[in-house]
Amino acid sequence: MTYICPICQSPLQQHLPSKGYYCENKHHFDIAKEGYLNLLPVQHKKSKEPGDSRAMMRSRRSFLEAGFYQPLAQTITALIDQHRTVQPPMHILDMGCGEGYYSRQIEALCQHPEQLDLHGIDIAKNAILAAAKKQPNAHFIVASNKRMPYADHYFDLIVIVYAPANDAEVVRLLKTDGLLLTVTPGPRHLWQLKEFIYKEVKEHKVEIDLPEGYEQIDSRRLSYTITPDQEHRMALLQMTPFAWRAKGEIQSRIQRAQDLEIETDFIITLATKR
Ligand SMILES: C[S@@+](CC[C@H](N)C(=O)[O-])C[C@H]1O[C@@H](n2cnc3c(N)ncnc32)[C@H](O)[C@@H]1O
Ligand SMILES: [Zn+2]
């Protein structure tokens, strides 16, 4: 069993002719034609379109597909391969997966991708729809990470790249020897973009919050420089939490800058239960 009912928490069974899922209390969830499952009942929705907007999702896709964060994807997949000890299939969850870039990269770059059972969850329906269309081998659901409708201890690995975490749910979903891989910004991430926005740029304080009882078993810092063109520079800006500060004049100065080199800085951490 993979999923539990988001309404009554009973196991969900698949009805094979329709491919939809249902529980013993007759709650029913259809598979969308793109192949994803919507497990976010209306009563759990706090807004009409929760999560990242369609515009943010498009910006992220355009930027990521251009390969600017490919070295990060390579580091993530190398770490997964290095620490892969479980009997196949290895159940992997990309939490707050957005439009699924890292999930696709894991399938493309990991050794023996046929031994991976890839899952992605995000609260933004548009993002999940795009992810499911592009990666039919993976399983995507629309749901909130506040209550993730998967069975207890289903996953061998949970990956969180720049997405909101939820320690209690991570602990519930990971196997006892499961791994948690997180990517967070390093001290100088996007330094030159921030120079346009803030009077005085300060190094970002690195804080790795692990669930209680978890310890770090590997950590890497990856930093390199990118030179995105105007279009990708704007897409990058839209992806960041400081986009709203960079309106009007600041935005056009960023756009007009010649050959702007921007530092990236990532901290990639792998943790497991002590
Ligand atoms: C900064 S994006 C990162 C997306 C992806 N991990 C990537 O790096 O390309 C954060 C993602 O978290 C999702 N998100 C925000 N709140 C969420 C929640 N409560 N439950 C699930 N996903 C959520 C957003 O919709 C968005 O796709
Ligand atoms: Zn139910």
CA torsion sign for 62, 123, 84, 216 is: positive
Q: CB of 54 closer than 6 A to ligand 1?
A: no
Give the list of residues 6+ apart from residue 258 with CB closer than 8 angstroms, or none.
none
Tell me the pLDDT of the chain averaged across its residues. Answer: 94
Ligand positioned closest to the Cα atom of 23: 2
Query: Which of 190, 201, 184, 194 lies closest to 245 in space, CA to CA?
Result: 194
Please give the number of the atom of ligand 1 that sits closest to the Cα of 64: 9
> What's the pLDDT at 216?
96
The percent of residues in the chain predicted with pLDDT above 90, rounded, is 84
**Ligand 2 center to residue 22 CA distance, Å?**
7
Query: Which of 161, 120, 154 lies closest to 139 in space, CA to CA?
Result: 120
Which of 40, 49, 52 maximizes ligand 1 atoms within 8 Å of its Cβ, making it the mutation to test the pocket? 52
- Does the pLDDT at position 44 exceed 90? no
Q: What is the mean pLDDT of residues 265-274?
A: 97
Same domain, 1 and 62: no
- Does the pLDDT at position 18 exceed 90? no
> What's the pLDDT at 65?
97
Q: CB of 96 closer than 6 A to ligand 1?
A: yes
* Domain span at 17: 1-31
Binding site members for S-adenosyl-L-methionine: 69, 99-100, 189
Q: What is the mean pLDDT of residues 151-158?
A: 98
Same domain, 51 and 91: yes
d(CA 34, CA 31): 8
Q: CB of 62 closer than 6 A to ligand 1?
A: no
Q: What is the pLDDT of residues 69-96, one digit of tens each?
A: 999 999 999 999 999 988 999 999 999 9
Q: CB of 146 closer than 6 A to ligand 1?
A: yes
Same domain, 3 and 109: no
Same domain, 22 and 155: no
d(CA 93, CA 77): 14
Q: What is the mean pLDDT of residues 210-217?
A: 96
Same domain, 161 and 27: no
- Does the pLDDT at position 34 exceed 90? yes
**Ligand 1 center to residue 164 CA distance, Å?**
7
d(CA 180, CA 117): 16
Same domain, 10 and 140: no
Burial class of residue 180 (count of CB atoms within 10 Å of its CB; 0-12, 13-18, 19+): buried
How many Cβ atoms from other residues are within 10 Å of residue 96's Cβ?
Answer: 22
> What's the pLDDT at 45?
81
> What's the pLDDT at 16?
87
- The structural domain count of the chain equals 2
Q: What is the pLDDT of residues 226-251, one digit of tens each?
A: 999 999 999 999 988 888 787 788 99
Same domain, 6 and 141: no
Ligand positioned closest to the Cα atom of 169: 1
**All residues with CB under 5 Å from ion ligand 2:** 5, 7-8, 23, 25, 27
Q: What is the pLDDT of residues 138-152, one digit of tens each?
A: 999 999 999 999 999
Tokens of 46: 């706090």
> What's the pLDDT at 86?
86
Q: Which of 41-45, 96-100, 253-257 has the lowest mean pLDDT?
A: 41-45
**Ligand 2 center to residue 208 CA distance, Å?**
36
> What's the pLDDT at 48?
83
> What's the pLDDT at 47?
84
Binding site members for Zn(2+): 5, 8, 23, 27
**Ligand 1 center to residue 17 CA distance, Å?**
32
Please give the number of the atom of ligand 1 that sits closest to the Cα of 161: 6
Same domain, 18 and 59: no
Q: What is the mean pLDDT of residues 203-226?
A: 94
Q: Find where tokens 């997949």 sit.
A: 77
Tokens of 95: 């939490």
Residue nearest to atom 10 of ligand 1 (CA): 163
DSSP string, the chain: --BB-TTT-PBPEE-TTT--EE-TT--EEPBPTTS-EE---GGG-SSSS-SS-HHHHHHHHHHHHTTTTHHHHHHHHHHHHHT--SPSSEEEEEET-TT-HHHHHHHHHSS-GGGEEEEEEES-HHHHHHHHHH-TTSEEEE--TTS--B-TT-EEEEEEESS---HHHHHHHEEEEEEEEEEEE-TTTTHHHHHHH-SS--PPPP-----TTEEEEEEEEEEEEE---HHHHHHHHHHSTTGGGS-HHHHHHHHH-SS--EEEEEEEEEEEE-
> What's the pLDDT at 207?
84
Q: What is the pLDDT of residues 157-181, one digit of tens each?
A: 999 999 999 999 999 999 999 999 9
Same domain, 15 and 99: no
Same domain, 6 and 57: no
Same domain, 174 and 224: yes
Higher pLDDT, 205 or 94: 94
Same domain, 25 and 149: no
d(CA 185, CA 137): 30
